[in-house]
Amino acid sequence: MINNIDDLRLGIIGLGYVGLPLAIEFSKKKNVIGFDINKNRIKELKSGVDKNLEFSKEELQNQKQLNFTNSLKDFKSVNCFIITVPTPVDKLKKPDLGPLLSASKMIGEIIEKGNLIIYESTVYPGCVEEECVPILEKFSGLSFNKDFFCGYSPERINPGDKKHTISNIKKITSGSTPKIADLVDNLYNKIITAGTHKAPSIKVAEAAKVIENTQRDLNIALVNELSMLFNKLNIDTEDVLKAAESKWNFLPFKPGLVGGHCIGVDPYYLTYKAKSIGFNPNIILSGRKINDNMGNYVASELIKEMKKRNIKIEGSKILIMGLTFKENCSDIRNSGVEVVIQELKKYNCELDLYDPWANYEEIEKLYGITPISTLNHGIYDGMIIAIAHNKFKDIGETNILKLCKKNHVIYDLKYLFSKHQVTLRL
């Protein structure tokens, strides 16, 4: 067993939105090997390119203690493995542990006595010890908490946020024994200036992580439902929220499409575990149902308003501004906009997709539509402002309005416009 953090030699598995920032931060303190199964990702990072746009070429090439690889042979010196692979849901909204279990198998085949495996991927309570540890034991031939040990420190990365970076977000830590819990906590305290919270067990840390985003999901579901109600009452939702926010303890959540790899996913991990023990989580599932249906609601409200204005729906030209799952981020996976686009396709509308943050090849692959790179004036019957990128704010309200025909509908989901300039708002 390793007793001193100075003796830990780190290998980070998965170099996406979570793993890469973690690898860079740790490499400021010690040598780190960053591994990803995607050969192109490794090739790009070695040349100083981060397609996620989180780090510049200069930032990547200045990491003297960080080595990128897609070969496990380079892990010979590693005795502390940090796993940061995705934990998505499948089409039935059930946890897809495939990447996590594959990473566990891969590490199980190379770990040695005394090694430490730390998981950062979001899971349900009990997953590390019930699902991952047996795989580590099977493929290593070693015994848990005797020959190797585990920790869990859930990621709290906020993609696109240059203010709340990894070092100044408080980190939850935990370990499979009290000594390992101390070791994991001391390790992360080396890079987390905001400090850590040492949970009493891995299960507690897993549960704490999964409820963070479940709570946010429920709060957003509430304001989404209120927005639909206020729309029927002809009350502006933003006006209501601003008035309510004048009280110090009102929570300032906003309505909108809910996507991404956390808020739209984590509640399903918790509900899966709940159902497996015979507990039906009614409130959590109700919130998910509301947020999952927001894309359908947005599409139907846009079409309904266009019909009111006698705009012919079939063949109408509609612009969707913003395709990523959140502002100022390049990731289009699990974006709430996807449902809106699929619904509008059913009406045989001509869709233009525009997002200067997103990768155009990925957009075309996902939607079968070639995104536009320039905006043309006076051609749109309808427009949806789905994401409030800073770049859209820079374009300006006046210039965006010029993109539309005289008779048009603008649906502003993010309160980007003054309310008198748009037709619909959430």
Is 262 catalytic? The answer is yes
CA dist 294 → 219, 221, 228 (Å): 14, 9, 10
Of 80, 150, 262, 404, the active-site residue reads 262
Tokens representing 128?
A: 């590390």
What CA–CA distances, in Å, run from 283 to 221, 228, 274, 306? 10, 19, 12, 34
DSSP codes joined into one string, 45-96: HHTT--TTSSS-HHHHHT-TTEEEES-GGGGTT--EEEE-----B-TTS-B-
Q: Concatenated DSSP letters for 201-243? A: SHHHHHHHHHHHHHHHHHHHHHHHHHHHHHHHTT--HHHHHHH
Largest CA distance in the chain: 73
Q: Are 54 and 21 in contact (CB under 8 A)?
A: yes
- Beta strand 196-198 pairing with 171-173: parallel
Q: What is the sign of the dihedral through the CA atoms of 365, 369, 375 and 380?
A: negative
**Residue 30 near residue 83 (C-beta atoms within 8 A):** no
The token pair at 179 is 């000594």
- 8 Å CB contact between 321 and 385: yes
Instruction: Please say whether the beta carbons of 144 and 108 come within 8 A.
Output: no
Q: How large is the C-alpha radius of gyration of the chain?
A: 23
Q: Which residues are catalytic?
A: 262
